[in-house]
A and B are shown apart, each in its own frame.
Chain A
Amino acid sequence: MGLFAVLPIAFCLMLAVATSAPPLGGLRRYAGVVASAVILVSGLALVVAVLDGQTPTAVGGQLRVDALSAFMLTVVGSVGLTATWGGLQPRTGPDATASYQALVALFLGAMSLAVLADNIGVLWVAIEATTIATAFLVGYHRSRRSLEAAWKYVVLASVGVAIALLGIVLLYAATRSAGSPTLSWSQLDADRPPLDPSLVRVAAALAILGFATKAGLAPMHSWLPDAHSQAPAPVSGLMSGVLLSVAFYAILRVQAIAGPVIGPALMRGMLVTAGLLSLAVAAALTIRQRDLKRMLAYSSIEHMGLLALAAAAGGVLALSAALLHVLGHGLAKSSTFVVSGRILATEGTTSTTQIRGLLTRRPGVAAPFLVGMVALLGLPPFSLFFSEVAIVIAGVERGLTWVMAVAVVLMLVIFAGLARHTFAVMFGQRTAPGRGEAAEPADRRAHGPWIPLAVALGVTALIGFAAGPFSTILTDAAAVLGANQ
């Protein structure tokens, strides 16, 4: 089974090289789709293996797949497939360049490495590599705004993860002075070397701070709305839907390593602060947001804040709900971002003040967006409803009653903001239809592949009810983290 751990990474690297080969021609546009499909298949195979009780390893133990890694790889694959397949340009449009496809493949490969590595140093390198791969993707349009967004993104994300590196260095120093220098969490978990608590406390605080920057948690979120709104739609979908969650995964790993040494208090304090601040920032800025893509970006900050609160609560219920939330949010967010690209292509703008009555004028584009927004708003039957309720309940159970009360109020404010903008765009009346526009027939075309969106949103709707193996992998993955909390 170790093969399936190497495959996604090796395949993405090969694909990134191969896209530069000229003979590929028209096939090049499918590079991201093929890479995501390979990742998804490997992820599912590894989930089956993990459920079977195995822990596949590869490359001399550098890659190690536990339930959490297998689940995260599946999320990377499924969200990647939604974003890249859904984001395929119609053949008439301009083809994406070879470098675009190569960078997308590298980006997917780096995220796979991040979730499969059994070493927090390699995890760090992989997360930094995602910044490198996405830098030019954010600045792809080469407009004034997209270059500025790319600049801010690279500087802030690199500085953030540099802080995380400082934390990792100190953790390594702690293991070295305890007699077994290692950055592998399986080894740390097995040996339990007597780490110095005061050192680990500094290390964990720095590492969480650094990875939180990359996860878009407030107050280090300022790059996120710019980068996610300026990138091409499929890239926004990937960054918002899954890259943030991969950074959040790093926070969970740090927490699992440091928790047994220093107890939960410090990290819980940090995560509660970051979580509530993120919700507050999202609440304050969604209300008066004027751009659909920026609105979606702030919604991502909201959902990351909620995940931070789940990590603060800890325990199997909160963590398995958080992982379900990662999947549901990833699928819904990548779908809505992809559709926002189609809205931009057909309407020529993503301004929430200019687009009106989209559902009657262009039902083929508007319907998937509306369904995706309903999912992101956390309404049943979508899985985000169940995971949000479970996170709040778990938080209350574990003594975060007041925190959760504040969180629920903020989430209601965000709900109102998102719902208001979505409603206006979908059902709002156009002022002054004149000059013959009113006679325009409804445009029922989807303006891109509709199957990935239907599947992604369908899965989001159904997975909350799925019992059996699916809930087993979630609780297994939570147990990897929560065994000692």
Chain B
Amino acid sequence: MSDSLYAQLVGLSGGVLLLSAVLIVWRRSISAEVRLLAVQGGALAGLVTVLGVNEGSTELLVVAGLVLTLKVVVLPGLLSRAVARHGASLHEETPLINTTTSLIALSLLTMLAFLVSRPLLVLGDDPAIAAVPIGIALVLYGFLVLATRRHAFSQLIGFLVLDNGIGTVAFLTAGGIPLVVELGASLDLLLVVLILQVLTARIRSEFGDADLDDLTELRD
């Protein structure tokens, strides 16, 4: 792969990652957010493929397949099934900040991401390293969603955006982590999502929909 093509492809997948995250913050409809999450997973898998082809590493290509299966097929599939069970028009009704404010927060977080990524630029002047701030930005966006949305599903989506961000940083800086850790981390992620889904189902079946929006029984 030529250098300029490589740089363009890394830039393209990074751009899709960032754009899909911005759209997730913008949208309120949870089923739309789940579709965007699948797009984001696809961009991450594409990024891993590009890196794998560039380094000629079969291990990375295997990992790309794993990422594709998990983040494009399995997790969005699980989520959309759960959302469908709640009815098609599931919305985040009461976020703590409105859409305009959250988009302004996004731009500030993006700047912050570039600022905090500066120590990472010592790793070289590869296009992949230059794209690291995107991963950090995704982590911060994930935090924003987790902190400002109250519906259980929105929080789950925030967690997955955060995890995609960590994955992006991992692949860009280190060409991924050792395969055994990668497998363990993917399995853990899958199980966490399954557990959270079962918990939401239990909360809903025993106490009704409203409770997913209002987890405030326990406090001091």
Q: Which residues of A contact B (CB under 8 A)?
A: 119, 121-122, 124-125, 128-129, 131-132, 135-136, 139, 142, 144-145, 147-152, 154-155, 158-159, 162, 165-166, 168-170, 172-173, 176-177, 181, 183, 196, 198-199, 201-202, 225-226, 230, 285, 289, 294
Contacts and interface: CB of A to CB of B under 8 A. Distances in A.
Given A147-B206, A169-B173, A177-B123, A128 B188 contact: yes
Interface stretch (B69-77, B86-94, B158-166): B158-166
B1 interface: no
Contacts of B174: 169, 172-173, 176, 181
A124 B191 contact: no
B175 interface: yes
Interface of B: 116, 119-120, 122-124, 139, 143, 146, 152, 155-156, 159, 162-163, 166, 169-170, 173-175, 177-178, 180-181, 184-185, 188, 191-192, 195-196, 198-200, 202-203, 206-207, 211, 215, 217-218, 220
A120 B19 CA distance: 33
A125 B119 contact: no
Contact of A144 (B159, B163, B200, B217): B217
Given A124-B181, A129-B188, A151 B196 contact: yes
A170 B169 contact: yes
A166 B169 contact: yes
A162 B166 contact: yes
A131 B194 CA distance: 13
Contact of B184 (A122, A159, A166): A122
A154 B146 CA distance: 13
A312 B122 CA distance: 29
A147 B203 contact: yes
Contact of A125 (B185, B199, B207): B185
Given A121-B181, A128-B188, A162-B162, 6 more contacts: A144-B211, A159-B146, A165-B185, A168-B181, A172-B174, A183-B177
Nearest to B214: A148
Nearest to B139: A166
Nearest to A202: B119
Nearest to B204: A147
**Residue among B123, B181, B203, B206 with max Cβ neighbours from chain A (10 Å):** B181
Nearest to B174: A173
A183 B162 CA distance: 23
Interface of A is mostly: helix
Contacts of A183: 177-178, 181
Contacts of A289: 220
Contacts of B166: 162, 165-166, 169
Contacts of B162: 159, 162
20 contacts: A122-B181, A124-B181, A124-B184, A124-B185, A129-B188, A135-B195, A147-B202, A147-B203, A147-B207, A148-B217, A150-B199, A151-B215, A155-B196, A159-B146, A162-B163, A162-B166, A170-B169, A172-B174, A173-B120, A183-B177
Contact of B217 (A145, A166, A176): A145
B123 A173 contact: yes
B6 to A, nearest CB: 19
Interface of B is mostly: helix
Contacts of B198: 136
A285 B146 CA distance: 26
Contacts of A162: 159, 162-163, 166
B159 A155 contact: yes
A121 B183 CA distance: 11
Contacts of B207: 144, 147
A121 B178 contact: yes
Nearest to B194: A132
Nearest to A225: B220
B191 A132 contact: yes
Contacts of B146: 155, 159
Given A131-B192, A166-B139, A166-B166, A154 B199 contact: yes
Nearest to A121: B181
Contacts of B185: 124-125, 128, 165
B120 to A, nearest CB: 6
Contacts of A136: 195, 198
A176 B174 CA distance: 7
A168 B146 CA distance: 22
Nearest to B212: A151
A132 B184 CA distance: 12
A154 B202 contact: no
A198 B116 CA distance: 11
Contacts of B215: 148, 151-152
**Residue among B180, B188, B195 with max Cβ neighbours from chain A (10 Å):** B188
Contact of B173 (A144, A151, A154, A173): A173
A148 B146 CA distance: 16
Contacts of A122: 180-181, 184
B146 to A, nearest CB: 6
Nearest to A143: B206
Nearest to A132: B191
A154 B195 contact: yes
Contact of B159 (A142, A159, A172, A201): A159
Given A128-B185, A139-B202, A151-B203, A294 B217 contact: no
A294 B211 contact: no
B201 to A, nearest CB: 10
Contacts of B180: 121-122
B202 A199 contact: no
Nearest to B119: A198
A437 B163 CA distance: 57
B83 to A, nearest CB: 17
B168 to A, nearest CB: 10
A165 B188 CA distance: 12
B195 A132 contact: yes
B178 A226 contact: no
B184 A170 contact: no
3 tightest Cβ-Cβ pairs between the two chains A and B: A125-B184, A121-B181, A173-B173
A148 B120 contact: no
Nearest to A126: B184
B202 A158 contact: no
A417 to B, nearest CB: 13
A177 B188 contact: no
A139 B181 contact: no
